[in-house]
Amino acid sequence: MKRRSFLGALGVGIASASTGGCGSTARLAALPEKLGNHGRFAGMPEDCRVVLDGSNDRLFGRIAFAALRREMDYAQRTGTTVGEANYLAISGGGENGAFGAGLLTGWTQLGTRPVFKGVTGVSTGALSAPFAFLGPDYDADLARVYTDSSAADIMTSRGLLVGLLGDSLYDSAPLRRMIRGFVTPALLAAIAREYSEKGRLLFVATTNLDVPVGVLWNMGSIAASGHARAAELFTEILLASASIPGILPPVMFDIEMGDKRYQEMHVDGGTVAQVVIYPPSLGGDDMLSDGTATPGLVEALMRRPRRLFVIRNARPGADPETVPRDTMKIADRAIATLIQSQGLSDLYQLYVIAQRDGIEYNVAWIPQSFTDRLNGPFDQAYMRSLFAVGRDTMLSGSVWTGVPPGFNAIPVHSMSPANRRGGTGPS
């Protein structure tokens, strides 16, 4: 979801204040620092998640090469070839997720949409990611989420007193019901097949607020686990990734360590990064460290073309406005600017990773020509209009750019004397 500021939402909460019970919900202690990231979910595979602080890079390498081995085995069984690898990263953006949804459906209509080797989603991108991963057969479901939903399908006000003395201003029960409605046995089974048989990967990012650190959840591994609570955990992860701190309640995950139980508090993945593909700390030394990567696997990885597509569900810059000399307005504008800048920085980080690892980089964002404004949270007319913009921009063939917004790929040191005489260089 779009990470609105707590102060901005507080203004809405004051306008709809009501009395009621209050008080924070008790919780178990967080996992002690000395235990690191070694807590486990009972019955879930050990590779069900990767912590994005560099400590799990070798685990991510094992996941990647194990998936490549399954992909190669599938190709051998079916008499096909292991072709290029296409990756999709979908950012946060709340209502603006309608842009990415429209883009994907337009891509289907264009007839050039690839089968993605890997898909990652953050916040609203997490809600899109399962549909994007499973492909065109799920376009209708994806479209419904972003063109038929309204604020009532996402959240309900708790009232000012309950909100301020509890853990959020709004209740996310409607969003949980929506997610649980599309996390069906059929959807889980389809994701599990793609993961187990073809080696395709689906990741969703949340933020462990206790540490704090970003976490990538291996949704294919969870779907294929056969665990009785797989659908519940899948749902809670998607909900956590979309839970804006202070606006929607955090999602608590129970962790077991021996005979002791702990809890982790997870919130919107965009708290750490608006969009992610894999940790920048991951390098060749991590990938080759434990012998999982045989020479044949390494060769197969290095010789295949790889392409990254990034959907940024935002415009590259905010609209200018006259900010009043008001504490709430100033703080709200500053926080919105910080979030906007963070999202842009994330695009640059992915660009650096792609350049380092020899991956073709493609990014799309909401065009500046889209000037509609929200009339309220999850304004259905706004989302439908933006969905159409995403679809039409894709169909026009002008959606992808090879560098992040504002980046000039021509090096300064390559300027010719003619350029310098023309005054095009820096002064």
What is the DSSP code string of 280-294? TT--HHHHTTTS-S-
Overall average pLDDT of the 82-105 stretch: 96
Q: What's the mean per-residue pLDDT of the chain? A: 87
Task: State the pLDDT at residue 410.
Answer: 86
The one catalytic residue among 5, 123, 128, 225: 123
* 396: annotated active-site residue: no
- Amino acid sitting at position 208: N
Query: What is the tens place of the pLDDT at every residue in 254-312?
Result: 888 778 888 999 999 999 999 999 989 988 776 665 666 677 777 777 788 999 999 99
Query: What is the tens place of the pLDDT at every residue in 100-146?
Result: 999 999 999 999 999 999 999 999 999 999 999 999 999 999 999 99
DSSP state of 26: P
Q: Judge if pTM exceeds 0.85.
A: yes
Assign 20 a pLDDT band (cuts: 50, 70, 90). Answer: very low
The one catalytic residue among 268, 286, 332, 346: 268
Task: State the pLDDT at residue 404.
Answer: 96
The single residue listed with the structure tokens 């665990």 is: 227
pLDDT at 185 over 90: yes
| 3 state DSSP class of 268 | strand
Return the CA Rg of the chain. Answer: 22
* 73: annotated active-site residue: no
Contact indicator for 282, 60 with CB cutoff of 8 Å = yes
Contact indicator for 49, 215 with CB cutoff of 8 Å = yes
